[in-house]
Structure 1
């Protein structure tokens, strides 16, 4: 892993691998967006489809 200059809080002796974090985010994002939308609606929020 290239030294990003940012320590990894999970493994302090390593640096954050931003390419790997991006891949992890892309995999998790669809489910998280659905979940957060559901929570928002349960709290009384209204959602619209974007153009």
Structure 2
């Protein structure tokens, strides 16, 4: 099963709070620097895109 990446809770946080959360910032930094995030390591879509 794929990993579940939770960046926030839309029921209790604004989109801005979620976007600026440490988890979301870290995710975007990994995507920018590596082209993928560790949380995406088991995602079949990542490998399908590369082939």
TM normalised by structure 2 equals: 0.27
Task: Mark the structure with the bigger radius of gyration.
Answer: 1
Higher helix share: 2
- Identify the structure with bigger relative contact order (alpha carbons < 8 Å, sequence gap 6+): 2
